[in-house]
Copies of this chain bind each other. A is one copy, B any other.
Amino acid sequence: MAEPPAQEPLVKEIPPKGADLSAWYTAVCIKAELVSYAPVRGCVVLRPYGFGMWENLQRELDMRFKDTGHENAYFPLLIPESLLVREAEHVEGFAPEVAWVTQGGQEKLEERLAIRPTSEVIIGVMYAKWIQSHRDLPVLINQWCNVVRWEKATRPFLRTMEFLWQEGHTAHATAEEARAETEQMLEVYRDFAENVAAIPVYAGRKSASERFPGALETFSIEALMPDGKALQSGTSHDLGQNFSRAYEITFSDADQQLKHVYTTSWGISWRMLGAVIMVHGDDRGLRIPPKLAPLEAVIVPIVKGEERAPLEKARELGKTLRAAGFRVRVDDRDRSPGFKYSDWEMRGVPVRIEIGPRDLEAGSVSLVRRDKQKGEEGSRVPVTFEALSATLREQLTSIQSSLFAQAKTFLQSHTFAPTDRATFLEECKNRAGMVDIPWCSRPQCEAGVKDQTSATTRVMRELQQPGALCVACGEPAVVNAYFAQSY
């Protein structure tokens, strides 16, 4: 039973998403109070509402890490320069991005300390101490932490100097086990992206030019943004023996031989939240998948004058729903219902529960879904007080699926399989979406495509038509690859 919008001004407009994704994105991040710019170059503050999404992401991923046998630990923030430089490709890749500590209190340091841009090095040094025997393997550790990479630009979640992430680091006795771990964690990420973040992804192996510095192979999940650019949303690296040789991580095997371990690393950062915002949002603001939503539902009492009954009932229902395990808030602010509707829509709360005097008489509430358009079938559902908890659970499940389905439709309708070079280059250049071709896998070919279109390979998979030629250059194809411009 919605009231007509009140006279006071509604939440300030955000620009239409379709017209300028970048302006829309920044406006939504700030207005929904996900983040705030900090007075430090390249840094943002993750505000409570944004942190609520991060906590849900953490809980869901952490559970999956533990279910696959991993434990959490914490390694130091600062890494002596002499340790950082031992793996040549790794240091070359990260040196331009390192923030250096040179002074401690009044003391000028003899050796500079790097703020971790990632922790392969410090963890490798510790694994060299901890691992002696094949009985110590595998080592399966994850850490949730902050890292710093010196950046010029700032875009909330997508590109910041400091960011929050998790980084898993494992050590194994054999190359096969390390590869299986790398693939297992890629699958954990795919499952999380699709079933929690409601974002369909292409998962696969990266080309040589897109590999993590120091890795044997990098795998990633790639999501498609509404502007046709891809966002790399999680990576899993098979590091082979590159780091165990550089940091002397050895073990005596059952056959008494001293061998180097095989290591992996894998990470997801708060960048994933950027993908959630861009993929699901609409002109009214955020649409957060229920599993990541800080609030699954908000209850808006429709109060006129001195009438307090709807507010009291709202509080009672709020209490009941919280006791049933829902994340729910009663909006008892001194504002009009219209203002509150717009405000919570902008913040992307999946369900709004309205309760007015007439609802109270009827013993029911109206449940309004954020994923549907106004007036769309099923966008507004009347529910009796008794059925509220069960119906809310069903509706949240339905919203989670519906957001995924919408995103999946978008990805499918923006995945192309051109068969001629001209169409391929045009689609890459115009950001048509994910452009899937049989590919030769030659770095020169990829560099040529990049020069002409700004697109690069995102992930590769098995060649779908044996004998096919590379659509980009005409040489024999060895894999299928998705090309796209990327964030």
Chain A residues near B (Cβ < 8 Å): 36, 38-40, 43-48, 50-52, 54-55, 71-80, 83, 95-107, 112-113, 115, 122, 125-126, 129-130, 141, 145-146, 148, 150, 161-162, 164
Contacts and interface: CB of A to CB of B under 8 A. Distances in A.
B102 A74 contact: no
Contact of A52 (B71, B99, B141, B162): B71
Nearest to A115: B101
A352 to B, nearest CB: 21
Contact of A45 (B36, B52, B73): B73
Contacts of A83: 39
Given A102-B102, A115-B101, A72 B48 contact: yes
Given A51-B73, A71-B52, A150 B80 contact: no
A457 B430 CA distance: 71
A73 B101 contact: no
A456 B180 CA distance: 58
Q: Which 3 A-B pairs have the closest CB atoms?
A: A48-B71, A100-B103, A43-B76
Given A39-B83, A51-B71, A78-B162, A100 B101 contact: yes
Contacts of A76: 38, 40, 43-45, 162
Given A40-B76, A45-B75, A51-B73, 13 more contacts: A36-B129, A38-B76, A39-B80, A39-B83, A39-B122, A40-B78, A40-B113, A45-B74, A45-B76, A51-B72, A76-B162, A78-B148, A145-B146
A150 B113 CA distance: 13
A442 to B, nearest CB: 31
A405 B279 CA distance: 55
B72 A47 contact: no
22 contacts: A36-B129, A40-B79, A43-B78, A45-B73, A45-B76, A46-B73, A50-B73, A51-B71, A55-B72, A76-B162, A77-B162, A78-B99, A78-B162, A97-B105, A98-B105, A99-B101, A99-B113, A100-B102, A101-B115, A102-B102, A145-B146, A146-B146
Contacts of A101: 99-102, 115
Contact of A104 (B44, B73, B107, B150): B150
Task: Point out which of A45, A48, A52, A102 has the most chain B C-beta atoms below 10 A from its C-beta.
Answer: A45
A129 to B, nearest CB: 7
A188 B237 CA distance: 43
Given A39-B80, A145-B146, A73 B48 contact: yes
B146 A39 contact: no
A294 to B, nearest CB: 9
Contact of A150 (B46, B55, B71, B105): B105
A38 B96 contact: no
A87 B48 CA distance: 26
Contacts of A75: 38, 45
Given A38-B126, A40-B79, A77-B148, A103 B113 contact: no
